[in-house]
Structure 1
Amino acid sequence: MRHILPPLAVAAAALLTGCMKDVRNDSLVTTLNAYSGAVRWDGLQSGLQYVDPEVLKAHPPTDFDLARYQQVRVSDYDDGSGPVALNDHEVKQTVRISFINNHTQAERSIIVHQLWRYDEKAKHWWLESGPPDLDPN
């Protein structure tokens, strides 16, 4: 019996770790889908709720940024091949966001390099790279 317990403990720990990763991965998929839906259908400003609160505190969007978000409507959100894991708690994703200016009806696209981080304590994925910059030039 002495030799059976350690392998069982190792197997149980591996199984729990695998389950934790599954929960984290499911949470990532849910968060990325919710974020893209919010941005696509409710506007860029609605995506701010997914940005890490510490990032928002350090770099709050200006009144000008918020006004720009109101001035455009997202026409396409293309996450390409999806997220790429950097480690167990971070993923990166490159997204093409197309938007139409409500005043001019001109359409533009920007490429956004997103960094998402999993907060173990909150059990939540946060957008670390901040909200998209509509004029990255």
Structure 2
Amino acid sequence: MSLRWVLMLVLMVVAFGAQAAGGRQKGKLEQAQNAYAAAIRWGDFESAWSFVEPAYAEAHPMGEFELRRYEQIQVSGYRDLSSSVEPDDVVVRLIEVRVINRHTQAERTLRYRERWRWDAGAKRWWLAGGLPDFWDGE
């Protein structure tokens, strides 16, 4: 076998390995996003918080007040509108959420962006920036 064929074979194996790793990463992103979306839909904000990047969570801890505030709402809809990848490999999703205030029973719709970052060391995706602010502007 000539050196050229060996080199071509090595390049093909490397390319296939990189593609397979990217596929696993994408699968893990879908799993994380689906689990996070389910937690938001069911109002399980403590579980949703477990998807937040540890550095962000440490810098912006969620206390009892914030958790009680989330108990005042009920999510009646959660929809992924679009998804894109930023140059730094951060995946951004535009989300539409319908929220009902438990006290007034008033429903409103809001949009926010989720930013997902891959952590190669932990081999998982993290939500960058925390949970949605359902009270922005109120």
TM-score (norm 2): 0.90
SS at match of 1:79: strand
User: Counterpart of 1:29?
Assistant: 30
User: Counterpart of 1:102?
Assistant: 102
Q: Quote how far apart the aligned CAs of 1:106 are.
A: 1.3
CA 118–93 in structure 1, closer or farther in 2 if over 3 Å, else same: same
1:130 aligns with 2:110: no
Aligned residues: 136
User: Counterpart of 1:91?
Assistant: 91
RMSD over aligned Cα, in angstroms? Answer: 1.5
Q: Quote how far apart the aligned CAs of 1:89 are.
A: 3.4
Q: Specify every segment of 5 or more residues in structure 2 that has no aligned partner in the other structure, as ranges.
A: none
Give me the identity figure in percent.
34
> Letter of the aligned partner of 1:33 in structure 2?
N
Q: Specify every segment of 5 or more residues in structure 1 that has no aligned partner in the other structure, as ranges.
A: none
SS at match of 2:91: strand
Q: Quote how far apart the aligned CAs of 1:86 are.
A: 1.6
Q: Quote how far apart the aligned CAs of 1:25 are.
A: 0.7
TM-score (norm 1): 0.91
| C-alpha contact 1:51 1:131 (8 A) present in aligned 2 | yes
SS at match of 1:118: strand
User: Counterpart of 2:59?
Assistant: 58
Q: Quote how far apart the aligned CAs of 1:31 are.
A: 1.0
| Of 47-56 and 88-97, the range deviating more from structure 2 | 88-97
| Of 2-11 and 83-92, the range deviating more from structure 2 | 83-92
